[in-house]
Structure 1
Amino acid sequence: MTESSPDAGFNVGGRLRQLRLDRSLSQRELARRAGVTNSTVSLIEQNSVSPSVSSLKKILDALPVSISTFFAGDEPGTPRAFYYRAEELTEIGDGRLSFRLVAARQAERSMSIIHERYPPGADTGEEMLEHDGEEGGVVVAGEIEITVSGEVAVLKAGDAYYFDSRLPHRFRNPGTQECVIVSANTPPTFSDGGRELHHA
């Protein structure tokens, strides 16, 4: 988790508190179910910290609520538009890795499209990730080292990847410049399911 000001477009803390209270759970009980500290839940609800995607996923799994539903909120009705300006993408990263989700408030999405940014040296963690679905992407700038089922490749701008997300995988920026990727996965397991998240 990293300290940050609340996202002006989405009140993560308020939404989490609302969902917790709807289920008549104390902060302590939710923390116990999620396997995180009580202070973690408290700080997130106060918007004092920005949770990593994996931390938020653990907490939401304990409710249970998908990340897709979490960001969709309770707004009924039809999707707002076919097009999304840059400032309308929803940040679901952890403050170091940036993952901006397209159409986050459309709860019935069949896929996730994400604009990803990895600063130099950043990675998805020591633990290999696995989840249902398929994922692919195109490197827009910089370079990324991707490990899939023990096979390692470094991709540069213009290169692409596509694999079964159930295979153990990991992403790391070995370069000196920011890496930018536009990725997609289906079903939207990045933001909706599986024990682990892509780029958690």
Structure 2
Amino acid sequence: MNEVDISRNITEYRKRKELTIKELATLTGVTPSLLSQIEKGKANPSINTLKQISSALDIPLFNFFINDNSTENLVVRKDSRKKIMFAENDSFAYELLTPNSQGTIEFMIMKIPPGESSSKELFSHKGEEVAYVMKGCVSFHLMSTVIELNCGDSVKIPPHSNHKWENNTDEDCEVIFAVTPPSF
């Protein structure tokens, strides 16, 4: 297993956002000299510092711990997708269609069994989302409105909009969606 280079990952994400070390320092409250030492691998950041940097760069914290250098990591095979399941409902699942959440967009498929929903309550996230119903029908709760979506329908979900998905039918439902920036 390859060793993860947190300093390289921080530098890469900072450059993607087209920020200088000084600009990132201003956003994080961390001194430019400490950031420079972190990026050169001469200082180890605390978890709190990593949280500040990830927040300023608008990326999930765990992205600093991912090491994907191979082009082989660009392909996601159907039988090896990363799955996200929840303890309160193990029949509902998200599958990551992008290799990871390192880029600026995340692509996923959501499988909703009959009579299940994505969550008990409406939830929101900072990212913009576009979803497409690949299979079945789904009740989409957006703010105080319920929209019935059928196979082939799509919907754009603005950032910070409370929403949830509910399958009130007797058939499985599959929704494919993209989120930017990644939020899972």
TM range (shorter): 0.5 to 0.7
For 1:174 and 1:161, locate their aligned partners in 2 and report how far apart those are by CA, in whole Å: 18
1:138–1:161 contact (8 Å) kept in structure 2: yes
| 1:84 to partner: Cα distance | 2.0
Inter-partner Cα distance in structure 2 for 1:83 and 1:68: 21
Any residues of structure 2 matched to 1:72-151 within 5 Å, and which?
Answer: 74-75=66-67, 77-94=69-86, 95-105=90-100, 107-151=101-145
Measured in 1, the distance between the counterparts of 2:63 and 2:116 equals 25
1:161 match: 155
Compute the displacement of 1:142 (Å).
Answer: 0.8
The residue number in structure 2 matching 1:36 is none
TM-score by length of 1: 0.55
**Deviations, residues 57-111 of structure 1 (Å, cap 9, x unaligned):** xxxxxx9699966488543524534432201210112331111102344x52211
- Separation in 2, partners of 1:180, 1:71: 27
Q: Alpha carbon RMSD of aligned pairs, Å?
A: 2.8
User: Aligned letter for 2:97?
Assistant: V
Gaps of 5+ in 1: 1-62, 192-200
Partner of 2:125, secondary structure, is coil
Cα contact 1:123–1:171 (8 A) shared by 2: yes
Aligned-residue identity in percent: 22
Deviates more, 1:157-166 or 1:76-85: 76-85
Determine if contact 1:120/1:173 at 8 Å carries over to the other structure: yes
Q: Distance in 2 between matches of 1:175 and 1:129?
A: 22
Distance of 2:127 and 2:109 partners within structure 1: 19
Q: CA deviation at 1:165?
A: 3.2
CA contact (8 A) 2:74 2:99 kept: no
Give the Cα–Cα distance (whole angstroms) in 2 for the partners of residues 96 and 72 of structure 1: 30
CA displacement at 1:154 relative to structure 2: 1.0
For 1:86, give the aligned amino acid: K
Q: Distance in 2 between matches of 1:71 and 1:177?
A: 36
Q: Is the 1:71–1:104 Cα contact (8 Å) retained in structure 2?
A: no
Mapping of residues 26-105 of structure 1, within 5 Å: 70=62, 74-75=66-67, 77-94=69-86, 95-105=90-100
Normalising by the residue count of structure 2, what TM-score does the alignment of the two structures yield? 0.60
Runs of at least 4 residues off by over 6 Å:
none
Q: Is the 8 A contact 1:72 1:104 kept in 2?
A: no
